[in-house]
A = this chain, B = another copy of it.
Amino acid sequence: MRISQVGEFGLINLLNKAMINSPTGVVAGIGDDAAVLKVSGDQWQLFTTDMLVEGIHFRLDWASYFDVGWKALAVNISDIAAMGGKPTHGVISLGIPAETRVEDMEELYLGLRAVARRFGVNLVGGDTVKCPERLVINVALLGEVAAGKAILRSGARPGDIIYTTGTLGTAAAGLHILLNGGNYPDPIKETVLRAHLRPEPRVQAGTLLSSLPGVTALDDNSDGLAAELREIGRASGVGCLIWEKALPVAAEVQQLAALTGADILDWVMNGGEDFELVFTVQPAYRKQVEAALTKAAVDFAAIGVITSAREGLIMERVNGTREAMGQTGYNHFTD
């Protein structure tokens, strides 16, 4: 059997079981956005890694080297935010084609450094090696969260309200322009391309959520809302009912969809890379959580409710009908 027949998620199931040889130090291993480690009495540590490959995760005819550096670190920071944590220390590995210009690598580092500075991350180590055909960037990132305050994907229960920060589908709209070209007014183009090329991880919202009571599950929207809801559903043993009319979409994305005839719902559910936070809240804490987010100027929307596992993932369309959603969601190997 070839990797191409299994797909990334199948591969993760086959091979990526955590291997714990010294269990006292580990709160949670593989299966969430980051591992959770005990390193001192009052702090837990978070540990995550992501690899980006030229031509698979980014294209250098679309993205500047600065963009690539920014995004490589930003997606890892988002994994820390998705646990309710604050990023602390990172190490960077670069696989570089020999004909790459030094100036381009300097620009990539400026992108890494800009996002590191923004989020107070220390870049403390790295490895640079030759990789003939493609630029490969791996970031491994540590974070911290108060002991007991990491928010996993597994705590959602039927009746909990489902929320997202920000808006959905914006990065996918940016990818649509990059893939298809076309000349669109600046406010549209600037908004959607920025969302795709320079994502802003939601560290402030994540750390706030970890300090609030009643937040039961948390994930970042890297693979599209449908995929993230399925992950919460699988980890928590629940289903999700999503209200189409409640899904927050930026005005620029609505305008672009109107101009191109594209399907907004496809961008929202399957597009991914928005790096917003998807989270669930117990109904009793709904008002308290919403008030705290509003006070902190975090934009959010209630988009559905947790149901039982046998109901699966269902969308209540604008016209009131309910539809079960299929098994879509971005997959690196089989698409």
A residues within 8 Å of B by Cβ?
1-4, 6, 8, 11-12, 14-16, 18-23, 25-26, 29-30, 34-35, 37, 39-41, 43, 45, 47-53, 55-57, 88-89, 91-103, 105-106, 109, 112-113, 116-117, 120-134, 136, 138, 140, 142, 332-333
Contacts and interface: CB of A to CB of B under 8 A. Distances in A.
Nearest to A75: B127
A8 B98 CA distance: 10
A123 B26 CA distance: 10
B131 A56 contact: yes
B128 A12 contact: yes
Nearest to A19: B123
Contacts of A96: 3, 11
Contact of A128 (B2, B8, B43, B121): B8
A131 to B, nearest CB: 5
Contact of A122 (B3, B16, B25, B52): B25
B47 A95 contact: no
Q: By DSSP majority rule, is chain A's interface helix, strand, loop, or mixed?
A: mixed
B2 A101 contact: yes
Residue among A8, A14, A136 facing the most chain B CB atoms (10 A cut-off): A136
A37 B89 contact: yes
Given A40-B39, A47-B125, A332-B130, A26 B89 contact: yes
B49 A43 contact: no
A20 B117 CA distance: 9
A142 to B, nearest CB: 7
A116 B20 CA distance: 9
Contact of A97 (B3, B14, B132): B3
A92 B126 CA distance: 15
Contacts of A89: 25-26, 35, 37, 47
